[in-house]
Amino acid sequence: MALVSTKEMFAKAFEGKYAIGQFNIGNLEVVQAIARAGKAQNSALIMGVSSSALKYAGPQFLMGMVKAAVEETGIDIAVHLDHGADFEIVKACIGYGFKSVMFDGSHYGYEENVKKTKEAVDYAHANGVSIEAELGVLAGVEDDVNVAAEHATYTDPDQAVDFVQRTGIDSLAIAIGTSHGAYKFKGEAKLDFDRLETITKKLEAAGLKNFPIVLHGASAVDPHSVEVCNKYGGKLDGAKGIPTEMLRKAASMAVCKINMDTDLRLAMTAYIRKHLAENPSAFDPRGYMGAAREYIQQVVEGKIKDVLGSANSL
């Protein structure tokens, strides 16, 4: 097992009707928790790195921690650039040793998105790196992504086929109702599974059978984490995510990668709050960070078993 690209992961996932989880990282405890969860459930993993995580932790530290996680656990792990906003960050991350990157040109007009994505694809493929792109625009806030609901757009199925054919990407992030952040729905949660099925069928008809689809903004916003946060001083009233059964359905279809970041942030914050509230004289960071690490591992293991379906897939 090793630090790998996502291409082989997705081929296995499509055939097995499961998805690989992308869990974003930014510090040691989160890396350890994710990797140990993957080891416990015998599942490959993707560790996502946003531009803000690169600024916060630095690429050398992040790559060093992931390499240590691979050595400790022996499982397949891919390091993936999340929402690369321009060609320069894609190029930089490939230079850091990333085996998988995302170029997100969804904020451009369609033709400009095609043009800029193709430039990133050519560079990535020349360096043996898998590349994801996005078509459609997700609402919500997460790190450097901030899109108002009125500016969100669902992915057009015919445009999706044209986009994949013209750019040569390895996976496509689509918009079918997920959103970034902890406040995804005001009313009933809805995902457009008909649109997902139509995109898949049109890709297959165009000779792109088993093409990997990606869902961003797919945290469940776990009620337990929200409850613990609020119990110990948090203010997360109204936080609501994607129901687990909807995500599992998507994973059984063409979705080969599901991104979950908010759930890990909530888990960490909840159990740091809990530990400090129950131990007011504590000041050793290893105490509260260790408690958070244990709970994040539980959360990730639950995602692997109940959402992704990737347990025992290695």
Active site residues: 82
Supply the angle between the helices 262-278 and 28-41 in degrees, to the nearest 10: 110
What count of other Cβ atoms lies within 10 Å of the Cβ of residue 8? Answer: 13
Specify the amino acid at residue 188.
E
Backbone angles phi, psi at 9, to 5 degrees: -55, -45
Q: CA-based angle 112:114:116, to the nearest 5?
A: 65
Q: What is the largest CA-CA distance in the chain?
A: 64
Bridge partners of 214, per DSSP, are 173, 257
Give CA 172 to chain center in angstroms.
Answer: 13
Specify the amino acid at residue 214.
V
Backbone angles phi, psi at 172, to 5 degrees: -125, 125
DSSP line for 16-40: HT--EEEEE--SHHHHHHHHHHHHH
- What the block records as the tokens of 277 is 């509230």
How many CA atoms are closer than 13 Å to the CA of 47, on its beta-carbon side? Answer: 32
The residue among 200, 206, 184 whose CA lies nearest residue 262 is: 184
Give the three-class secondary structure for 84: strand
The CA distance from 77 to 80, in Å, is: 10
